[in-house]
Amino acid sequence: MTARTVDRARLGSTGVEVTRLGIGTAPIGNMFTTVSDEDAEAMLRAAWELGVRYFDTAPLYGHGVSEIRLGAVLRTLPRAEMVVSTKVGRLLTPRTDRAGPTIFRDTPPLEPEFDFSADAVERSLDESLERLGLDRVDVALVHDPDDHLDEAIRSALPRLEKLRADGRVRAIGAGMNQSPALDRIVRECDVDCVLLAGRYTLLEQPALDDLLPRCETRGVSIIAGGVFNSGLLADPSPGATYDYDTAPDALIARARRLASACDRAGTSLASAALRFPLGHPAVACVVTGARSAAEVRQNAAWFDEPNDAAAWESLKSAGLLEARVPIPGDEE
């Protein structure tokens, strides 16, 4: 392992420092497929052994299962060494019938319901701490307020600001799968970081037109999630997934062109996908999910794989990246 995995970056102007590679825990909330408690624990312990110290979760992931599994492991490890983020904006409500389809398997009889009110923010955070078995989380993010943006800005984020001022959390922000709404949040709210999933990747960079320059100007850090675009950039084979659904043929073809260009440059598509977001100075870290110890070790190996300047320039010369796109190395 090189030093890359254990390198750290600060979130905004806070004292919170995350490892450049973080772990997202939606997969151990049984996303798409059931994961055993043993495999979830093995994955988290392997990540720790590799030097990863940033872990992201949410009540939505497995309807509480991810937080419970994460907490069971982190409670046995040095709290001062880790950074934990969770999310607010959904409360888990008991019910015996399934309200609708979900990508999470074998969930408890709880349904997530949107609630971005100030009181719900505190309740959500308290319930997350109970599931995690921790006395605090370091980062609290408003989760997916796409259809509730005004309320999130008016109620949820001001309450998070108060919780930060009271010392209950150390950094605040929002997490979404789109950049325009996050850009508005950065413009109108006093946030430290945002988690952007899938919209600044080797495949597509729409956030380069709004959110990223805004964050750079305002000193807000970006946590880059969904860097494989739901799997397409890890394995662009027929049936690959993109944004949690089957990838269109045109995107599979583009991903394959990226893979060929990476191969010619002596690196792998997966490695380039993991490292690419860090080329922008506003990006503090990338977060990837894993279901097993083997998967997290593979992610760390990809992350630590050398990517020299020639590899990135070859993608630009092939027309697969715009000339204006910053590349890893530019930020150093």
C-alpha closest to that of 279 among 224, 213, 327, 311? 327
Q: pLDDT tens digits, residue range 33-49?
A: 999 999 999 999 999 99
- Domains of the chain with CATH codes: 8-240+273-307 (3.20.20.100)
Rg, the chain, Cα only: 19
In terms of Cβ atoms closer than 10 Å to its own Cβ (0-12, 13-18, 19+), residue 40 is buried
Contacts of 175 (CB under 8 A, 6+ apart): 58, 87, 141, 142, 143, 144, 194, 195, 196, 197, 223, 225
CA angle 48, 294, 252 (to 5 degrees): 115
Q: pLDDT tens digits, residue range 49-98?
A: 999 999 999 999 999 999 999 999 999 999 999 999 999 999 999 987 76
C-alpha closest to that of 219 among 165, 159, 173? 173
Mean pLDDT of the chain: 94
Q: Catalytic site residues?
A: 61
Give the strand pairing for 17-19 and 8-10: antiparallel
- pLDDT for 99 equals 62
Q: What is this structure's pTM?
A: 0.95
Least confident span in 3-7, 101-105, 130-134, 303-307: 3-7
- pLDDT for 179 equals 97
